[in-house]
Structure 1
Amino acid sequence: MKVPKIRVKLLATSVVMFMMLLTSFASGQANEATIIANQGILRRTANFEGDVVETLALGTQVLLQEKSGDWYRVQLTNGITEGWMYKDLIAVNGEKGSSLKKGITTASTLNVRGTPSLQGSVVTQLSSGSEVTILSQEEEWYQVQLSQGPKGFVHSDFIEVVPNFPQAQVLENNSKVRTTANLQAETIVTLNKADIIFIKGYQDGWYNVVTKDFIEGWISNEVVELQVNVVRPVNRSGTRSNGLSNIKTVAEKYIGTPYRYATAGPNSFDCSGFVFYILNTYYKDYLNERGIDLPRSSRDQANVGASVNKSQLQTGDLVFFNNGTTSTINHVGIYIGNNQFIHASSGRSMGVIISSLDEANYKRRYAKATRL
């Protein structure tokens, strides 16, 4: 029996369309995406050490050319400028979330095993807050794919399943998630400071977000901070491969230098003046290579670089604090490892000192961290 020609034609057309969808990156047919970071850093290569091509503003539209691990090769709509951008800095337009789930590790150290059993060999270990892609589930075990590394199995008791979009944090109490991107729109849910949400898109000063409970709505971008989450196995070196790895030794030379408001060294510092002096005196080439013009004030410094989770801090990251009652940044220091940071303090121990992030004062006031 012959198949009618029209059915053969429709079938062939469907196959072609399906193959086009599967090979859109390879064939050069790009998907559109939106920059969801305040500073979308476009790099020459697909890694954080890549030279900065350009810094794109929040809301900029780009075309996705291909994907390599956690990085997208993107092109500006002018058809000329292109480079690589980390996955958490963009939202793919119209994306409904992958059929694959995303998981966040909740244990301080989580074993990734070769088989779904406590007797399985340990492939690697993950620190708290690491992201994994959940491929499947076998009873109480998830098979996961690490963004940098092999597949493996983790126990489901230590994985929180969340929406598969870039993660962000709410900056203020009583922040409203609304039905549409409008201050007059109905409130769906009210969030508080430090609540975690996931960004699906951006439009005219509003983020399209999904909560941990998978409630979707719109929230003002002014009360949201994007968090760049990089999976880092515990058993790999936590030191930087870049030029900030020795910043602890450099900065410690200035311990005891007096605090003085509105000064930037070398004989006295205020908090942002200390950070400004250290980075511009000893690491100017590092900043220049990345196209970073470090501002003078702590509030402005907080807007430079990529935000990182507190659990993912590395030596050389900048840590920021507020006054404890509002979200306004008013203090900054340099993270030096072991949950410690060095800073110019205006408190009772006035001057450059080393403090712990676990101290009650700083734990209460901790606001964010960035990586230059």
Structure 2
Amino acid sequence: MIVSNALKHICIATSILMMGSTVAFAADAGQATSSAVNVRKEANTDADVVGKIDKGSEYTVVGQNGDWYQISYEGADAFVSADYFELTKTDAVVTADNVNIRKAPSTSGESVGKLGEGEAVEVTGQSGDWYRISYNGESAYVSKDYISGDLLTKVTAVASEAVETAGQDIENTYGVVTASTGLKLRKEASTISTVLAVLPYGTEVNVDRVGQEWVRVITDGGEKGYVSAEFLSVRKGERTSRFNDSSKGAEVVSYAKQFLGTPYVWGGTNLSKGVDCSGFVYAVMKNFGITLNRSSYDMANNGVAVSKSELQAGDLVFFNGGGNSRISHVGIYMGDGNYIHSTDGAAYGVTITALNSGYSANTYVAARRVVR
């Protein structure tokens, strides 16, 4: 039987090398599926642990031995259980001529190229009846019917970027990051893809493509990538500054003032029965669909920093106990130099205090803008 040169190359590269019962492969790679996964000297649970690996770092896969992957670890071969390790990249070969390469895992996806029989491809994931491949530096998809390889069935399943919603017009569409701890911008539509940047809470980005699980966006710096659709609020119309909505801030203050006199209760979040300082802020902001970290110390990581001279209604203001102590108190700036907060001090309960007087002036630390 005549075999093309490309196919011969693949066959030779993936040939079986006799190393005990280990099958060796060409240019495969993978990563741990959780943290602190044991790397062992031999392919069994009784073997010595030579190190640990965490999800996010890619390792070359040099073989497979039963339910174990043999990887290159710190210059030597070692083994990781397949229960805690997944294949993220493997070589394969095309088995037919004129095979369509598509932008999305669907026969309705736009064709961006063709593959010929015997061509080598790098498969980076599988989605339903499709394999995701690297093509001209971007992700694309090929039907599983036309790809062959030793480890294809083991390559990790990925959430596809999804076909754009039928008829959806994405002109004048932008997105706002809603994840309080920031949102990872990835090179490809996959949780194992390279992280290009972390977009802070409230960041606005231009939307290039909308899918059910992933949205392709373009940052103001011109960087294109994918973010989880779960943590991006997609909006139509002209972009406005996500962190300069003074009218919404005024709404927040008006709502917060309804609860003046609510007693201070440690750990409380009930605006009518009792709240502590962070519980008060947490509950007020939750009413406006803004989810914050629960403690004042952790809440200082939400939103974006704003200087004291640029405070506007709805901004969060933070204080410490004096000296070098950590943040221990938070309130909501009202405008006109005042803030509303819940205190267990002399004023006890939800009250209004001047920002530049006494204790407040001496213990002020920072401000964050979270109003959307």
Normalized against structure 2, the TM-score is what? 0.38
Structure label with greater radius of gyration: 2
Normalized against structure 1, the TM-score is what? 0.38
- Greater relative contact order structure (CA < 8 Å, 6+ sep): 1
